[in-house]
């Protein structure tokens, strides 16, 4: 089983992915982390915008790198944007993601990948594709609350602008833009909690497995 989950920032796809991975005993890959990991590895060797440094960092990527210190920090986010802009890096990481999807580690029954282009580019052959979205206001509130709960200082207007900027960049980019696959189930989570979204996703998955 391969489940592809896409959607914009703070739509709730990460929470859903973790719940589905546990329920179906699937290996989970948060594909956003692989770019952050490569970015941090590139920083250690110099300039992450240097294509040769970034490509070598991508080629040496290991699953253990997704747990390195600071991977969810600001430096990782900024360096991830730099390495992600290099086509050759994306090519290397595309193969990394596909290898994970088709050969899940730890004896899992399948894989579930969460990102921006899983159903359209990484795993277009996945039988189960979900696109999780929500209104900009709802996603802003969720991310703002998440930052507060982590003890980080946050200004709501800044959070909103950050999400808008990420949306515009993800949707407008020529390479692997954010968009639902033609055969994806679109779930707008604006008016649903995590448990309700999980139920909707589970219902769709069951219908696809018949």
Cβ contact 186:180 at 8 Å = yes
What is residue 127's predicted lDDT score, i.e. its pLDDT?
92
| Whole-angstrom distance, CA of residue 140 vs CA of residue 122 | 27
CATH class of this structure's domain 1-26+109-205 = alpha beta
Look at residue 40 and tell me whether its pLDDT is greater than 90.
yes
What is the rounded radius of gyration, in angstroms, for the C-alpha atoms of the chain?
Answer: 17
Assigned token pair, 133:
């979205």
pLDDT digits (tens, 9 = 90+) for 108-147: 999 999 999 999 999 999 999 999 999 999 999 999 998 8
What is residue 175's predicted lDDT score, i.e. its pLDDT?
76
Domain map (residue ranges) of the chain: 1-26+109-205, 30-103
Assigned token pair, 193:
């909690």
Cβ contact 181:119 at 8 Å = yes
What is residue 136's predicted lDDT score, i.e. its pLDDT?
96
């Amino acid at each position: 089983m391969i489940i592809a989950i896409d959607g914009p920032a703070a739509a709730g796809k990460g929470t859903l992915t973790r719940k589905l991975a546990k329920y179906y005993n699937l290996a989970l890959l948060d594909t956003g982390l692989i770019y952050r990991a490569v970015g941090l590895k590139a920083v250690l060797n110099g300039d992450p915008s240097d294509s040769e440094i970034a490509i070598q960092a991508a080629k040496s990527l290991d699953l253990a790198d997704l747990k390195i210190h600071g991977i969810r920090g600001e430096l990782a986010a900024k360096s991830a944007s730099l390495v992600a802009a290099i086509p050759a890096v994306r090519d290397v990481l595309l193969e990394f993601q596909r290898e994970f999807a088709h050969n899940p580690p730890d004896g899992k029954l399948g894989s579930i990948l969460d990102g921006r282009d899983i159903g359209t580019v990484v795993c277009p052959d996945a039988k189960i594709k979900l696109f999780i979205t929500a209104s900009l206001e709802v996603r802003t509130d969720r991310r703002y609350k998440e930052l507060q709960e982590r003890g980080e200082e946050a200004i709501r207007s800044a959070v909103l602008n950050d999400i808008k900027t990420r949306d515009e960049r993800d949707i407008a980019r020529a390479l692997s833009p954010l968009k639902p696959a033609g055969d994806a189930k679109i779930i707008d989570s604006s008016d649903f909690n995590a448990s309700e979204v999980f139920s909707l996703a589970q219902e769709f998955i069951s219908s696809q497995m018949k």
